[in-house]
């Protein structure tokens, strides 16, 4: 348990601090963020970046040096970094233990402000572009993948950790007439060792900074293949005012248990490792949704996310359509290449050992009588460590491709008989030793309930009708059990080590497009939540806007987050067969977006308040809506429903404007039901 000594701090530190998720920038060509990013990319790529060890805030250069290469062009040396010897490690440990007392006794609000300032610095384009550039170059991430990791998630961790700290400080034990009880929290005795992986810059930032926020000193061992981006993280913290001797950077590691008999106290471990994550498809699932969700989960960042889908269970009745769609998209719409190009879907895997390991699994699939490579399987290391996204079908549900973690762009599918769904649940739970994430695609509520109960121990994060990747700080607390880790959830990391296993569920009812028909030959579209990879938007809309009279899109124009589609023939509402990812409205300005990865924000005004909900309307369009928990609005004319917690009612005022964050949207025939949360504008 990370404990803070806060007897004198609790009265001065505000326990009402509330963090917000960092908005995702779009990086449109010609934008300020693109220009700044290109400058940073050129800066880091044009030189050999040298990285020292950091002890007591001072740079220490050693003779033992290793190199960090570009994964997509291993001929290019990006950085050289120093390795620490045992003497330097001992020096760092002594410094950490010595500095802990002063750091821990610093007023907690001062510590918190350092990390809040770091978040503000990372949000600014100067440091944001450096985080993205070093993550793209060193770890092979595309612009979008680097943005959601090295910028947004890093910032989210720093801000939300302060919120969690405020929550921890708000606790006070009950006192009686005879006694006064005081709850004192303090930092850990000794120091904290943070060992971070390559695949998320944000994980390194969080592992090193969250114990420090709580008053501990930290020895941070970065992954060798992420050392440059992690060094940039440290420089941001340094500029934000982190005192010397709080976080030391080392590029070495020794197993904790090697010297356990010499420890004065048992080491406290918190681990988030990999997974053999699944997509389970029920016969009631939407065919298009499962294809795009699976492509994104399995192949974004070349399957190198801990939560990436690498095994899929498919009912036989849906197999032909699924495989046909997967082959078409993987062949025609996924560009594999340099992450520095805007239209690249994914790039190379991280390094030679990873490349060799993935290739060995693919070669096994080629030779196994129970597996068949349907598409992909090509491996080329002549320039970079490139592995093509690979789709495999197996007839053996216990094959090692269904149970062992590969950590690459390899997806194995087992086709089950539709009448053996229950047996398939047993396979999912028992065949793998991992339990990180899983997704269920199903429209049958009874089946969903049964499936969730049966697979309760098979994952730490459960997604319903959504991909198994993409957890957002404070929205889907992330972590798993079994060989996937100690299931301590990133959101709870700095508060305590939990004694129970938690399952976090993301029930996805978001849709991809909001649209309206301006005239009989023009359709306007706002991208709301894109489930699809960066493929052809034209092809996606063409599938979504199927016309009963054969009309198709002849041109597509983009302006201010909106798309104007010119149709080949005149169409009306009745002519268009809307796909599930489309929401139809009469006036697109009613739902004008602030695009966010998970939330759509509109400004609305309170017109009435009932016992359970507040009904709001856009732009003073006051219309009568039934006051019930689930309000269904015909044709979505602008009415929204906010489900309020009791504590919110003191903050809600009739006639006052609020920003409404849409959380859930369901389609009932041609009507829409919306649920929302509120923030005072």
Of the residues 33, 147, 272, 581, which is catalytic? 272
Q: Using an 8 Å Cβ cutoff, are 409 and 346 in contact?
A: yes
Sheet holding 513-519, edge to edge: 553-559, 562-567, 522-527, 513-519, 582-584
Q: What φ, ψ does residue 467 adopt, rounded to 5°?
A: -70, 160
Cα–Cα distance for residue pair 615/627, rounded to 1 Å: 8
Of the residues 82, 306, 309, 442, which is catalytic? 306
Give the chain's largest Cα–Cα span: 83
Q: Across 486-548, where does the E strand assignment appear?
A: 504-507, 513-519, 522-527, 545-547
Neighbours of 258 (CB within 10 A): 8
**306 a catalytic residue:** yes
Sheet holding 73-82, edge to edge: 49-51, 73-82, 65-70
**At what angle are helices 201-213 and 154-169 packed, to 10 degrees?**
30
Cβ neighbours of residue 575 closer than 8 Å, sequence gap 6 or more: 547, 548, 549, 551
Q: Among 456, 440, 459, 429, which residue's Cα sits nearest to residue 507? A: 440
Residue by residue, DSSP assigns 325-371 as HHHHHHHHT--BS-TTSTT-SB---S-HHHHHHHHHHHHHHHH-TTE
**272 a catalytic residue:** yes
CA 561 to chain centre: 22
Cα–Cα distance for residue pair 655/663, rounded to 1 Å: 22
Q: Among 174, 182, 151, which residue's Cα sits nearest to residue 25? A: 151
Cite the active site residues: 272, 306
């Amino acid at each position: 348990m990370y404990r803070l000594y806060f007897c004198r701090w609790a009265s001065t530190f505000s326990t009402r601090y509330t963090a917000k998720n960092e908005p995702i920038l779009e990086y449109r060509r010609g934008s300020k963020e693109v220009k700044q990013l290109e400058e940073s990319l050129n800066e880091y790529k044009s030189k050999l970046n040298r990285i020292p060890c950091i002890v007591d805030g001072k740079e220490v250069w050693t003779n033992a040096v290793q190199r960090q290469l570009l994964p997509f062009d291993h001929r290019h040396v990006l950085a050289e970094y120093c390795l620490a010897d045992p003497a330097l490690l001992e020096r760092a440990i002594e410094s950490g233990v010595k500095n802990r007392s002063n750091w821990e006794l610093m007023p907690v609000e001062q510590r918190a402000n350092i990390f809040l300032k770091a978040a503000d610095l990372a949000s600014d384009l100067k440091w944001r572009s450096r985080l993205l550039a070093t993550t793209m170059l060193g770890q092979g991430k595309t612009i979008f993948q680097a943005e959601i990791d090295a910028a947004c998630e890093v910032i989210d961790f720093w801000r939300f950790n302060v919120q969690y700290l405020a929550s921890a400080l708000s606790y006070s034990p009950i006192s009686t007439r005879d006694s006064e009880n005081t709850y004192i929290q303090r930092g850990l005795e000794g120091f904290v060792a943070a060992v971070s992986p390559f695949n998320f810059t944000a994980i390194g930032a969080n592992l090193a900074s969250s114990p420090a926020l709580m008053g501990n000193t930290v020895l941070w061992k970065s992954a060798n293949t992420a050392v440059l981006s992690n060094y940039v993280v440290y420089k941001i913290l340094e500029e934000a005012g982190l005192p010397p001797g709080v976080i030391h950077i080392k590029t070495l590691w020794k197993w904790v248990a090697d010297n356990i008999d010499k420890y004065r106290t048992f080491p406290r471990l918190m681990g988030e490792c990999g997974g053999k994550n699944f997509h389970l498809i029920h016969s009631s699932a939407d065919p298009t949704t499962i294809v795009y969700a699976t492509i994104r989960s399995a192949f974004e960042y070349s399957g190198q996310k801990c939560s990436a889908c690498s095994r899929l269970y498919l009912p036989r009745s849906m197999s032909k359509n699924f495989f046909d769609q997967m082959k078409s998209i993987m062949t025609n719409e996924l560009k594999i290449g340099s992450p520095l190009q805007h239209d690249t879907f994914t790039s190379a895997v991280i390094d030679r050992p990873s490349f060799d390991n993935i290739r060995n699994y693919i070669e096994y699939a080629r030779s196994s009588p129970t597996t068949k490579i349907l598409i992909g399987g090509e491996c080329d290391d002549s320039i970079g460590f490139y592995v093509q996204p690979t789709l495999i079908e197996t007839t053996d549900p216990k094959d090692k491709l269904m149970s062992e973690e590969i950590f690459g762009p390899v997806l194995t599918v087992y086709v089950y008989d539709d009448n053996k769904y229950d047996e398939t649940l047993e396979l999912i739970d028992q065949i793998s030793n991992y339990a990180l994430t899983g997704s269920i695609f199903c429209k049958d509520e009874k089946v969903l309930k049964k499936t969730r109960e049966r697979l309760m121990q098979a994952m730490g994060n459960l997604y319903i009708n959504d991909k198994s990747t993409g957890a957002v700080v404070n929205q889907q607390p992330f972590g798993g059990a079994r060989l996937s880790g100690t299931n301590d959830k990133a959101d709870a990391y700095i508060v305590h080590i939990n004694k129970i296993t938690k399952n976090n569920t993301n029930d996805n009812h978001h849709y991809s497009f909001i649209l309206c028909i301006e005239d009989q030959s023009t359709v306007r579209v706002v991208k709301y939540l894109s489930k699809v990879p960066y493929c052809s938007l034209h092809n996606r809309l063409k599938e979504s806007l199927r016309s009963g009279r054969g009309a198709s899109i002849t041109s597509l124009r983009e302006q201010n987050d909106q798309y104007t589609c010119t149709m080949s023939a005149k169409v009306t509402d009745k002519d268009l067969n809307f796909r599930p990812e489309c929401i139809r409205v009469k006036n697109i300005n009613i739902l004008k977006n602030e695009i966010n990865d998970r939330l759509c924000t509109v400004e609305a005004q309170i017109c009435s308040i009932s016992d359970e909900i507040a009904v709001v309307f856009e732009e003073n369009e006051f219309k009568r809506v039934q006051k019930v928990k689930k309000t269904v609005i015909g044709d979505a004319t602008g009415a929204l429903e906010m489900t309020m917690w009791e504590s919110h009612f003191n903050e809600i005022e009739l006639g006052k404007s609020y920003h409404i964050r849409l959380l859930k949207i369901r389609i009932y025939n041609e009507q829409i039901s919306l649920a929302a949360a509120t923030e005072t504008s």
